[in-house]
């Protein structure tokens, strides 16, 4: 931030719109210059309300210098808003230092591999919080243990795939070199989120469908340079998929 004084809050109206592409994201475009008002050119954590419904999320930059806000399904339901509807927003930068409380079950799963623990520690706060909440949510101890083990396997598979792509992805890229070109153009964070999304699924069929979705995005990235395609692939931290 440019100043240590309390940043001003902004109140405005914006129309929810569906972003182009096959992800189905609903967004609003921030109607003011975020850099001038809050001193942030890149991503910025914010808190506030949409139609009185509390939110805590992140603004994402576009290639043109503006910002947009992803309106999750949970936000849409809480605000009784959907694509095409104009909603009232109140936002301000979220300066609170946040910590993700790691459940004991997840600590035990990570204790078997210190490298995985360090990799986890380097994830975004939103991602770490989401993972911790997923493990802590079930009431049954056995269910929490199983979920911690499953997520640890998912993270391990992602970490290893970042070092060397697994055979299933190598084969997919060999069949479509343009998809591999698009994959290489993604940022490391964008590739990581795709890998997390792929390994989130357990069944071969579901995983194949998620890979196909990633390949479509990669091909589009390889062949497109317009603003809409660039915005579509901005990394949204806080989830493996949009599960809210």
> 180-204 burial, b for 16+ CB within 10 Å, e for fewer?
bebbeebeeebbbbbbbbbbbbeee
User: Tokens standing for 67?
Assistant: 């910002």
pLDDT tens column, 80-102: 999 999 999 999 999 887 777 89
The pLDDT of residue 226: 41
The pLDDT averaged over each successive group of 10 residues in the chain (244 residues) is: 70 95 84 95 94 94 93 95 97 85 93 92 87 91 95 96 96 95 91 94 93 93 58 42 37
The pLDDT of residue 63: 86
Pairing of strands 10-15, 17-18: unpaired
Please state whether 39 falls in left (phi above 0), alpha (psi between -120 and 50) or beta. Answer: left
pTM > 0.75 = no
Architecture of domain 10-93: Beta Barrel (2.40)
User: Tokens standing for 186?
Assistant: 């993604």
As a whole number of angstroms, the distance between CA 192 and CA 234 comes to 13
Domains of the chain, residue spans: 10-93, 104-224
pLDDT tens column, 4-20: 567 899 999 999 999 88
Return the closest-CA partner of residue 56 out of 78, 35, 37.
78
Q: What's the DSSP call for residue 241?
A: S
């Amino acid at each position: 931030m440019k100043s240590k004084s309390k940043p001003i809050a902004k109140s405005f109206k914006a129309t929810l719109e569906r972003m182009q592409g096959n992800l189905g994201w609903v967004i609003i475009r921030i109607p003011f210059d975020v850099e001038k008002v809050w001193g942030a050119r890149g991503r910025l954590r914010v808190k506030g309300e949409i139609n009185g419904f509390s939110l805590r999320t992140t603004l994402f930059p576009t290639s043109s210098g503006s910002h947009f806000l992803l309106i999750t399904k949970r936000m849409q339901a809480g605000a009784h808003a959907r694509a095409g509807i104009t909603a009232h927003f109140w936002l301000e930068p979220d300066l609170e230092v946040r910590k993700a409380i790691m459940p004991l079950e997840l600590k035990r799963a990570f204790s078997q591999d210190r490298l995985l623990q360090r990799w986890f520690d380097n994830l975004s706060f939103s991602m770490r919080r989401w993972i911790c909440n997923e493990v802590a949510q079930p009431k049954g101890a056995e269910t929490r243990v199983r979920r911690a083990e499953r997520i640890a396997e998912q993270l391990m598979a992602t970490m290893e795939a970042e070092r060397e792509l697994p055979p299933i992805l190598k084969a997919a890229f060999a069949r479509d070199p343009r998809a591999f070109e698009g994959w290489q153009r993604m940022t490391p964070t964008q590739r990581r989120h795709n890998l997390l999304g792929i390994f989130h699924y357990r069944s071969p069929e579901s995983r194949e469908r998620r890979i196909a979705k990633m390949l479509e995005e990669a091909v589009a990235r390889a062949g497109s340079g317009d603003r809409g395609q660039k915005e579509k692939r901005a990394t949204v931290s806080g989830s493996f998929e949009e599960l809210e």
